[in-house]
Structure 1
């Protein structure tokens, strides 16, 4: 066995006693830990200040009498204020860095029973950070009914959490609970989305910096922002309210007043003071959805409010203050807006520290089924009337909803509306195949009407001269092919959708190869169609 070294503070109260035989009837931690038959201490590094030098010598003599094999090494550390955390930690860190530890040749125990609470905390932190290369040692007096009470009991605490499956499992469960909280309890299956939510959870709990949520309309930015706020409030990291505003609704002179407030009489109609949204969010969280719609003047004031926590209300001669965390949402490419001069580059740089892109529903088709159940639960909670699918109807709806024919231009808003319609129209709360077929027809009509306003999918995919060389008949066919490719997750899936009728008449088919050859006629491939 390697020699065992104990490092600990002299207990100015616990280790003190009157000189005489009666002292052996008192439990003195530093002396007692060397009296255990099952704990051989070869060296004891006893930390103390100069004013306790006499007590240190006294304790060292008693240790020598009960444990001759233990060599006591008094180590002086002077504290101006032993309750000053910064001073105690700093001086202990200096001691640790200068001490000749040799973990290969010796084992170390860090005694945290004696010393001030501040000293004990600092020893714990230094051990956890591995500055002290040992394990924690906790001692305590024996119960009154136990015989031989002077030595008491000792326990070693190993900070290597990987050895404790139950503790590790508990931490993992807490982390999973937080991530599930951000997802509203939905068991999402998209791996990339789940990784992003895990990262957002870590950022939300460890940073007060602005968060930028990007993604198409209906991707869930507003709901995620509110869940981040609720998570931080649950962890007591914010005390104020959640204030949400859609910046697209702030137009003209009213935008400044709505955001920053105004003084009475600042302009015609200002009949009373108005605090403004930023001041309302004090100690809480401000969610500026569609922040890309703000004017440049408002952007400049928002930037100052983020950095200095101060701003000037309209018509005021004195600044107002507000301490809030900002979450911004946008469906625009802010980098492109900066290049066009429509968005301030300094504000974008401030927002771009933590940027997360929420994918649309078409890119998370595997999450449609768990979201379907979530929307049914929401309907039941909202309307007080539960609806459910029969098995065949559920399979039919999911086959359509996850297939290439489902566009979902409104993303999760479209899905929520679709489920609400079926639940409302279902006979006796049971959604059957007839109800599903009617909803699928309704969605196709809705999306067909929207498709007419869509831009030509070939624009930007092929140069103008190549487009001019394609007959109108072929152009319509190619445009629909491109639309299907962009809705599909793979070349094979797109091929199955495009050649569904003809493939049923053949004994074998390679739809992916057939589609690849078709695209090649126009100088296109799968990658170029999907990335454009």
Structure 2
């Protein structure tokens, strides 16, 4: 046995009207739904304004006269102003929330032909949000009106977009295009970064709350913030501009004046009134890069501006308003800054609703290739000259760029500068192996000091990897790896097992009655499948 059909709809004070005998000669939308011979409406939930009680009673009687099997329930729904969206939506929402839906046994049709346009929109929203778990029903009059008021026709509209393959594909494509826009059209391969962009795309088009972008200098925070703004523009979600400021450049009175504006004469040098960047960003997006560099006073003022959309310009006793979305960027750990008292905890809590850590280029080495192509395309557009790598030269460059020797301390800025140098020097539009070799030397010089600082730790890491099978190394916890690395570093500095044991157990050995440091160290090494002889031999090979 199929499910029962239940209709929910507003009574139309015009289309459903009529108290005299003449009403039977006109088409009435609510009545028409119970006139179809092939449709049995089990129940009709008829919503109406209390002042139209008499009309509701007549319509109820007419519907049950034409379809005795249909139970028509009247519901007086109060809305002081039928054209006030807030009032109508609230009244419908309250009615829907108390209604007992039985989706297992009943199908629900939300009738949207009757009622004010505001009521129809509210009914649509109830179905779209699944507060009414059903479909929309649109009724239409017969093509030729005849005496007796014919039923006309009805159409059902299912708002579950997952059921429409064409629409689903279009939405998927739109989402893919939006994510590609955030990535500047770069087909990135790093799974973690792609997942990060996927969520940022959803937040960008669905939320006006502050967004916090963290990550090292050159990781692309500013670029991503601008792309988020452009995505909002494409969706007509912002009307104002994109305003960007590096907070590290703001100092003293100039910081507050630049951000919040000032009145003429507010301080020495304030010769004219200034609107300030927050007011300039009204209706748009304000990107505060290096937000951790703001002073405490500016942080307090910014918090009020975010929460209340109101603030006081310097030297003014009258508040101004600005409605903007904040995107903040920082390469500092703001959690640590809060602990140290350098950043307000309440401001951090306010801007940390959506927080994303952008990885540096060294953590996304598989994305170096696609980014090389992007830089070359950008170079061609700006310089009007197409440049490509020779196949051997590209392989040579990628082999170095994706190795541990390439630190990419400046992240994408380093990569862009490197590829720009190669493209500029390329004769005949082709980058040769000789050019790549010279560029690698430049990069090695650039990172020389950083490499020297890392060399002791890198040597220990390489030592450990050489001593252990790959499957054992990869299965170790980070804690065990770091501990073993430290032990091996001491072993490499000692002449024998006993000396290494004395250094490693210099405190606990005094608490033992029987001291055998060599045996303790030997057992620790054996736990990892190592012997002193093997450690010494491997260290000697590295020294040679």
TM-score using structure 2 length: 0.78
Q: CA deviation at 1:203?
A: 2.6
Q: Deviations over 1:299-333 (max 9, x none)?
A: 33333333344444444455544333222211112
Is the CA contact (8 Å cut-off) linking 2:9 and 2:45 kept in structure 1? yes
Correspondence list, 1:69-84, <5 A: 69-84=69-84
Which stretch has the larger CA shift, 435-444 or 298-307? Answer: 298-307
Instruction: Give the structure 2 partner of residue 10 of structure 1.
Output: 11
Instruction: Give the structure 1 partner of residue 343 of structure 2.
Output: 343
CA–CA separation in structure 2 for the residues paired with 1:75 and 1:297: 56
CA–CA separation in structure 2 for the residues paired with 1:317 and 1:31: 63
Instruction: Give the structure 1 partner of residue 104 of structure 2.
Output: 104
Instruction: Give the structure 2 partner of residue 522 of structure 1.
Output: 489
Q: CA deviation at 1:388?
A: 1.7
SS in 2 for 1:199: helix
Q: Deviations over 1:135-155 (max 9, x none)?
A: 322211244599x99322211
Instruction: Give the structure 1 partner of residue 140 of structure 2.
Output: 140
Is the CA contact (8 Å cut-off) linking 2:460 and 2:485 kept in structure 1? no
Tell me if 1:481 matches 2:482.
no
CA–CA separation in structure 1 for the residues paired with 2:67 and 2:230: 58
Is the CA contact (8 Å cut-off) linking 1:81 and 1:87 kept in structure 2? yes
Q: CA deviation at 1:51?
A: 4.5
CA–CA separation in structure 1 for the residues paired with 2:473 and 2:83: 78
Is the CA contact (8 Å cut-off) linking 1:49 and 1:77 kept in structure 2? yes
CA–CA separation in structure 2 for the residues paired with 1:444 and 1:132: 65
Q: Which runs of 5+ in 1 are unaligned?
A: 458-475, 486-490, 500-508, 527-532
Q: Deviations over 1:79-126 (max 9, x none)?
A: 433323333333334444444544334333222211222222232333
- Say if 1:15 and 1:415 are closer, same or farther in 2 by CA, change over 3 A: same
Instruction: Give the structure 1 partner of residue 164 of structure 2.
Output: 164
Instruction: Give the structure 2 partner of residue 437 of structure 1.
Output: 437
Q: Deviations over 1:246-269 (max 9, x none)?
A: 222223443343333344444444
Is the CA contact (8 Å cut-off) linking 2:460 and 2:489 kept in structure 1? no
Q: Number of matched residues?
A: 484
- Say if 1:248 and 1:55 are closer, same or farther in 2 by CA, change over 3 A: closer
- Say if 1:322 and 1:166 are closer, same or farther in 2 by CA, change over 3 A: same
Correspondence list, 1:487-506, <5 A: none
Instruction: Give the structure 1 partner of residue 27 of structure 2.
Output: 27
Instruction: Give the structure 2 partner of residue 228 of structure 1.
Output: 228
Tell me if 1:257 matches 2:224.
no
Is the CA contact (8 Å cut-off) linking 1:229 and 1:242 kept in structure 2? yes
- Say if 1:71 and 1:282 are closer, same or farther in 2 by CA, change over 3 A: closer
- Say if 1:284 and 1:203 are closer, same or farther in 2 by CA, change over 3 A: same
Q: CA deviation at 1:160?
A: 2.8
Tell me if 1:395 matches 2:395.
yes
SS in 2 for 1:522: helix
- Say if 1:320 and 1:13 are closer, same or farther in 2 by CA, change over 3 A: closer
- Say if 1:331 and 1:92 are closer, same or farther in 2 by CA, change over 3 A: closer
CA–CA separation in structure 2 for the residues paired with 1:96 and 1:312: 44
Instruction: Give the structure 2 partner of residue 246 of structure 1.
Output: 246
Is the CA contact (8 Å cut-off) linking 1:405 and 1:484 kept in structure 2? no
Q: Which runs of 5+ in 2 are unaligned?
A: 475-480, 492-524, 529-544
Q: Deviations over 1:386-421 (max 9, x none)?
A: 212233322222222122221111000011111111
- Say if 1:103 and 1:347 are closer, same or farther in 2 by CA, change over 3 A: closer
Instruction: Give the structure 1 partner of residue 514 of structure 2.
Output: none
SS in 1 for 2:41: coil
Q: CA deviation at 1:218?
A: 0.5
CA–CA separation in structure 1 for the residues paired with 2:382 and 2:313: 39
Q: Deviations over 1:277-304 (max 9, x none)?
A: 3333333322222222233333333333
CA–CA separation in structure 2 for the residues paired with 1:205 and 1:139: 34
CA–CA separation in structure 2 for the residues paired with 1:338 and 1:252: 21
Q: Deviations over 1:194-249 (max 9, x none)?
A: 22222222333333332221111100011111112222233333322222222222
Instruction: Give the structure 1 partner of residue 177 of structure 2.
Output: 177
RMSD of aligned residue pairs (Cα, Å): 3.5
- Say if 1:361 and 1:115 are closer, same or farther in 2 by CA, change over 3 A: same
Is the CA contact (8 Å cut-off) linking 2:82 and 2:88 kept in structure 1? yes
Tell me if 1:382 matches 2:416.
no
Q: Deviations over 1:35-63 (max 9, x none)?
A: 32332223333333454444445444544
